[in-house]
Chains A and B, each alone.
Chain A
Amino acid sequence: MQTIKHAIISAAGLGSRLQLNMPKCLIEFDGVSLLERQIALLDDVEDVRVVVGFMEEKVINVAKRHRKDILFVRNPLYTSTTNCYSISLGINGIRDPFMLIDGDLLIDPISFAKFMNSYEVGDELIGYTDARSDDAVYVKKSASEQLLGFSRDEVTQYEWPGIACLSNVAVNRDDRFLFEVIAKIEDVKTHYIDCIEIDTPDDLSRAHSIYQNKYKR
């Protein structure tokens, strides 16, 4: 965990498919939001940045209650821009390796720690999890944990949840999807991480069930 100095939580989006009229990162499990849970996971990271857009005041108020030294990066164009646009704002000026986390993830803390322990400086590392969300981007990987590619059509056992530790990767504001950017890099390592991405009402009810049966400990 000491090796990554910068983490960017991407939490600007509308989350329109969930139809909750609230930022997805503020969805609560046992009264604790996804955002608070992610901030707690990043206790040892020196520079935590949260990219905000939709209902930014609410997101900022929750985040700053839990950690005073967060850098909030504003994406006022959140309705018309992609997640890559938010990420490009978030990583602006960072010269060291950085970690990216989608704000709509419920992550098992123990699994997160194992993921971070598997990271070595200089690696390009992505997380993969069990394929279960409604709109999965599937991960193809080798037995030796090398990334072989991503696919929306070719179903595999695992999906891309939007967690990565990167160093020599330029994410530009015009890029469409982060997985498309990562797919162009050579020698990307993979590691399992137990987490659930919440994009749709079905994802949310699945997340509640998994939280109760598994993560809540």
Chain B
Amino acid sequence: METLFCFDLDGTITRQELLPIMAAEIGIYDEINTLTEATLNGILPFEKSFLLRSKLLASIPVENIQKIIEKISLNNKIVEFIRANKQNCRIVTGNLYEWVAPLLSRLECDYYTSKAIFDNQQLISVTQVINKGDIVKSLKSEGYRIVAVGDGMGDIAMFEHADISVAFGGVHEPINTLIKVSSYLTYSEGTLCRLLNTLS
């Protein structure tokens, strides 16, 4: 059975959570960071929190967001693993394609994102917040063995349906509920990549 590696993006591949960085652009870092922390800690459901944070960030032109996103530092060993195994890797992110497109092109593999309507660089509305569990279920029905990697509340559904799941604490402590549904836990990027290579 062919193995497919499904990666969360924010705080797993990126060394920072993306939405708070974007928020700094319009001076609402603290507000968005508070919402992000509450989401990571499972106090706010991911979908509601993402919709709320998107509304707060909607006034930033896409072009500006992409310029910020381009500068975000990544976990390079994970990026190397993804590029080396691009046919068998997928990015599964709750973030919007239009916002994270520069990162996705650097990773060179296929992806699943939330969807939104934009008009002239402005976010009008989020039309679909991704359900990571549904993505994994669909990929499994195609016959893949799924290895999921993530760190936050939004990854729980992905972990529940994956064959093997790895909670990654390289950027921040993974939420305890996620650890409880994971097969492995590591705080080291090198260890994560070594494990993924053994699971290929």
Binding site for B on A (CB under 8 A): 46-47, 56-57, 60, 64, 68-74, 76, 89, 92-95
A68:B188 contact, CB within 8 angstroms: yes
A74:B184 contact, CB within 8 angstroms: yes
Q: How far is the CB of B112 from chain A (nearest CB, A)?
A: 26
Pick the contact of B188 from A69, A94, A95 — CB < 8 Å?
A: A69
Q: Identify the closest chain B residue to A64 (Cβ).
A: B187
B191 contacts across to A, CB distance below 8 A: 47, 69-71
**Measured CA separation A68–B176 after assembly (Å):** 18
A71 contacts across to B, CB distance below 8 A: 184-186, 191, 194-195
B186:A72 contact, CB within 8 angstroms: yes
**Measured CA separation A141–B199 after assembly (Å):** 37
Interface residues of B in 7-24 (CB under 8 A from A): none
Q: Identify the closest chain A residue to B165 (Cβ).
A: A74
A57 contacts across to B, CB distance below 8 A: 176
B185:A93 contact, CB within 8 angstroms: no
Kindly state whether residue B182 has any CB partner on chain A within 8 Å. yes
* Contacts A47-B194, A73-B184, A74-B179 supplied; 4 other A-B pairs, CB < 8 Å: A71-B185, A71-B191, A71-B194, A74-B185
Q: Identify the closest chain B residue to A52 (Cβ).
A: B185
**Measured CA separation A64–B179 after assembly (Å):** 15
**Measured CA separation A92–B182 after assembly (Å):** 15
A68:B182 contact, CB within 8 angstroms: no
Pick the contact of A72 from B176, B184, B190, B198 — CB < 8 Å?
A: B184
Q: How far is the CB of B120 from chain A (nearest CB, A)?
A: 47
Q: Identify the closest chain A residue to B192 (Cβ).
A: A71
Q: How far is the CB of A178 from chain B (nearest CB, A)?
A: 21
**Measured CA separation A47–B188 after assembly (Å):** 11
Q: Identify the closest chain B residue to A91 (Cβ).
A: B198
**Measured CA separation A73–B185 after assembly (Å):** 7
Kindly state whether residue B183 has any CB partner on chain A within 8 Å. yes
**Measured CA separation A94–B194 after assembly (Å):** 10
A92 contacts across to B, CB distance below 8 A: 198
B186 contacts across to A, CB distance below 8 A: 69-72
Given contacts A93-B195, A95-B198, contact A72 B188 (CB under 8 A): no
Pick the contact of A74 from B182, B187, B190 — CB < 8 Å?
A: B182
| Pairs A–B under 8 Å by Cβ, sample size 27 | A47-B191, A47-B194, A60-B185, A64-B187, A68-B187, A68-B188, A69-B186, A69-B187, A69-B188, A69-B191, A70-B186, A71-B184, A71-B186, A71-B191, A71-B194, A71-B195, A72-B186, A74-B179, A74-B182, A74-B184, A74-B185, A89-B183, A92-B198, A93-B195, A93-B199, A94-B198, A95-B198
Q: How far is the CB of B3 from chain A (nearest CB, A)?
A: 11
**Measured CA separation A92–B184 after assembly (Å):** 11
